[in-house]
Amino acid sequence: MAEALAPLTVFGKTEARLDRIGALSIAERPDIALASLAARRERLTSLEAAAPAVLGTALPGVSRVAGGTIRAFWTGPAQWLVEAPYDTHEDLAAVLKQNLGGDASITEQSDGWCAFDIEGDATIALLERLCAADTRAMTPGDVLRTTIEHMGCFLICEQAGHAFRLWTARSSALSLHHALTTVAAALP
Amino acid sequence: MSQTMRLAGGRIDRATTLSFAFDGRLYRGHPGDTLASALLANGVRLMGRSFKYHRPRGPLSAGSEEPNALVELRSGARREPNTRATVAELFEGLVATSQNRWPSLAVDALSVNDRLSSFLTAGFYYKTFMWPKAFWEKLYEPAIRRAAGLGRLSGEADPDVYDKGFLHCDLLVIGAGPAGLAAALTAGRAGARVILADEDFLPGGRLNAETITLDDAPARAWVEATLAELASLGNVRLMTRTTIYGAFDHGIFGALERVTDHLAQPRPGTPRQILWRIYAKRSLLCAGATERPIAFENNDRPGIMLAGALRAYANRWAVAAARDVAVFTNNDDGHRTARDLAAAGIRVAAVIDSREDAPDTPGVPLFRSAVVTGSRGRLGLKAITVRTAGGRTEEIACGALGVSGGWNPNLQLTCHQRGRPRWDDALATFVPVGGPSGLAVAGAAAGIFSTHGALRGGAAGARAALADLGIAASLPALPRAEDAPVRIAPLWQVKGKGRAWLDQQNDVTVKDVTLAHQENFRAIEHLKRYTTLGMATDQGKTANIPAIAVMAELTGKPIAEVGTTIYRPPYTPVSLGALAGRSRGAEFRPRRLTPSHHWAEGQGAVFVEVGNWMRAQWFPRPGETHWRQSVDREVLATRQAVGICDVTTLGKIDVQGTNAAAFLDRLYCNGMAKLAVGRVRYGLMLREDGMVKDDGTVARLAEDHFVVTTTTANAIAVFRHMEFCRQCLWPGLDVQLISTTDAWAQFSVAGPKSRALLERIVDPAFDLSNEAFPYMACGGVTVCGGLRARLFRISFSGELAYEIAVPARYGDGLIRALMAAGEDLGVTPYGTETLGVLRIEKGHPAGNELNGQTTAANLGLGKMVSSAKDAIGTVLSRREGLNGPDDIRLVGLKPLSPADVIVNGAHLMTEGSPVDAAHDQGWVTSSCHSPHVGHAIGLGFLKRGDRRTGEIVRVVNPLAGTDIRAQVVAPCFVDPEGVRLRG
Predicted local distance difference test score (pLDDT) of residue B362 = 87
Predicted local distance difference test score (pLDDT) of residue B103 = 86
* A156–chain B nearest CA distance, Å: 18
What confidence tens digit (pLDDT) does each residue in A146-174 have?
A: 999 999 999 999 999 999 999 999 999 99
The residues near B161 (Cβ < 8 Å, ≥ 6 apart) are A186, B266, B269, B270, B271, B272, B582
Task: Specify the DSSP class assigned to residue B944.
Answer: T
Cis omega (within 30 of 0) for bond into B132: yes
Predicted confidence band at B410 (pLDDT cuts at 50, 70, 90)? very high
Tell me whether residues A8 and B785 touch, CB distance under 8 A.
no
Query: Is the dihedral angle over the CA atoms B869, B873, B876, B878 positive or is it negative?
Result: negative
| Separation of alpha carbons B841 and B937, rounded Å | 8
The residues near B65 (Cβ < 8 Å, ≥ 6 apart) are B290, B538, B541, B542
Beta strands in A2-129 (DSSP E): 18-21, 24-28, 32-39, 65-67, 71-76, 79-85, 104-108, 113-119
User: Does the structure show a pLDDT above 90 at B307?
Assistant: yes
Interface membership of B612 toward A (CB under 8 Å): yes
Pick the range with the lowest mean pLDDT from B113-117, B130-134, B758-762, B855-859: B130-134
Predicted confidence band at B342 (pLDDT cuts at 50, 70, 90)? very high
Pick the range with the lowest mean pLDDT from A154-168, B116-130, B359-373, B615-629: B116-130
Neighbours of B556 (CB within 10 A): 7
| Separation of alpha carbons B842 and B928, rounded Å | 12
What is the SS3 assignment for B881? helix
Tell me whether residues A134 and B168 touch, CB distance under 8 A.
yes
- The CA radius of gyration of chain A, in Å to the nearest whole number, is 17
* B700–chain A nearest CA distance, Å: 15
Nearest beta carbon to residue B270 from set A41, A150, A186: A186
In three-state form (DSSP H/G/I as H, E/B as E, the rest C), the secondary structure along B434-502 is CCCCCEEECHHHHCCCCHHHHHHHHHHHHHHHHHHCCCCCCCCCCCCCCCCCCCECCCCECCCCCCEEE
Backbone angles phi, psi at B142, to 5 degrees: -60, -40
Predicted local distance difference test score (pLDDT) of residue B129 = 73
Residues of B in contact with A171 (CB under 8 A): 592-594, 613, 648, 741-742
Tell me whether residues A112 and B741 touch, CB distance under 8 A.
yes
What confidence tens digit (pLDDT) does each residue in B724-734 have?
A: 999 999 999 99
Neighbours of A48 (CB within 10 A): 14
Tell me whether residues B166 and A133 touch, CB distance under 8 A.
yes
| Separation of alpha carbons B529 and B519, rounded Å | 13
**Cβ–Cβ under 8 Å, residues B405 and B491:** yes
Interface membership of B166 toward A (CB under 8 Å): yes
B412-435 mean pLDDT:
95
User: Does the structure show a pLDDT above 70 at B650?
Assistant: yes
Interface membership of B274 toward A (CB under 8 Å): yes
**Cβ–Cβ under 8 Å, residues A167 and B742:** no
Predicted local distance difference test score (pLDDT) of residue B115 = 83
**Cβ–Cβ under 8 Å, residues B643 and B800:** no
Nearest beta carbon to residue B809 from set A111, A149, A186: A111
Tell me whether residues B591 and A174 touch, CB distance under 8 A.
yes
User: Does the structure show a pLDDT above 90 at B468?
Assistant: yes
Under 8 Å CB pairs connecting chains A and B tally to 160
Predicted local distance difference test score (pLDDT) of residue A52 = 96
User: Hey, where are the domains in chain A?
Assistant: 21-30+113-186, 32-108
Residue of chain B nearest A168, judged by CA positions: B742
B97-116 mean pLDDT:
87
B364-387 mean pLDDT:
97
- The CA radius of gyration of chain B, in Å to the nearest whole number, is 38
B261-266 mean pLDDT:
93
* B147–chain A nearest CA distance, Å: 41
Selected residues 460-479 of chain B with any CB under 8 Å from a CB in chain A: none
Predicted local distance difference test score (pLDDT) of residue B831 = 98
Predicted confidence band at B148 (pLDDT cuts at 50, 70, 90)? low
Interface membership of B253 toward A (CB under 8 Å): no
Nearest beta carbon to residue A129 from set B164, B612, B648: B164
Tell me whether residues B590 and A38 touch, CB distance under 8 A.
no
| Separation of alpha carbons B745 and B817, rounded Å | 14
Interface membership of B92 toward A (CB under 8 Å): no
Predicted confidence band at A1 (pLDDT cuts at 50, 70, 90)? low
CA angle at residue B129 from B125 to B130, to 5 degrees? Answer: 120
Homologous superfamily of the A32-108 domain (CATH): Heterotetrameric sarcosine oxidase (3.30.70.1520)
Predicted local distance difference test score (pLDDT) of residue B149 = 66
Tell me whether residues B590 and A176 touch, CB distance under 8 A.
yes
Tell me whether residues B807 and A111 touch, CB distance under 8 A.
yes
Nearest beta carbon to residue B166 from set A6, A132, A188: A132
Tell me whether residues A171 and B654 touch, CB distance under 8 A.
no
Selected residues 730-749 of chain B with any CB under 8 Å from a CB in chain A: 732-736, 738-745
What confidence tens digit (pLDDT) does each residue in B798-810 have?
A: 999 999 999 999 9
Nearest beta carbon to residue B738 from set A36, A39, A185: A36
Pick from B879, B868, B837, B847: which is nearest to B973 by CA? B837
Residue of chain B nearest A30, judged by CA positions: B809
User: Does the structure show a pLDDT above 80 at B716?
Assistant: yes
Interface membership of B585 toward A (CB under 8 Å): no
Cis omega (within 30 of 0) for bond into B622: no
Q: Tell me yes or no: is domain A21-30+113-186 CATH 2.70.98.10.
A: no
Predicted confidence band at B500 (pLDDT cuts at 50, 70, 90)? very high
Please name each of the domains of chain B with its CATH number. 1-155 (3.10.20.440), 161-289+409-468 (3.50.50.60), 293-405 (3.50.50.60), 592-649+743-830 (3.30.1360.120), 651-739 (3.30.70.1400), 882-982 (2.40.30.110)
pTM: 0.94
What confidence tens digit (pLDDT) does each residue in A87-121 have?
A: 999 999 999 999 999 999 999 999 999 999 999 99
Tell me whether residues B166 and A178 touch, CB distance under 8 A.
no
Interface membership of B894 toward A (CB under 8 Å): no
What confidence tens digit (pLDDT) does each residue in B567-606 have?
A: 999 999 999 999 999 999 999 999 999 999 999 999 999 9
B921-926 mean pLDDT:
98
**Cβ–Cβ under 8 Å, residues B353 and B329:** yes
* B821–chain A nearest CA distance, Å: 8
Interface membership of B191 toward A (CB under 8 Å): no
| Separation of alpha carbons B798 and A58, rounded Å | 51
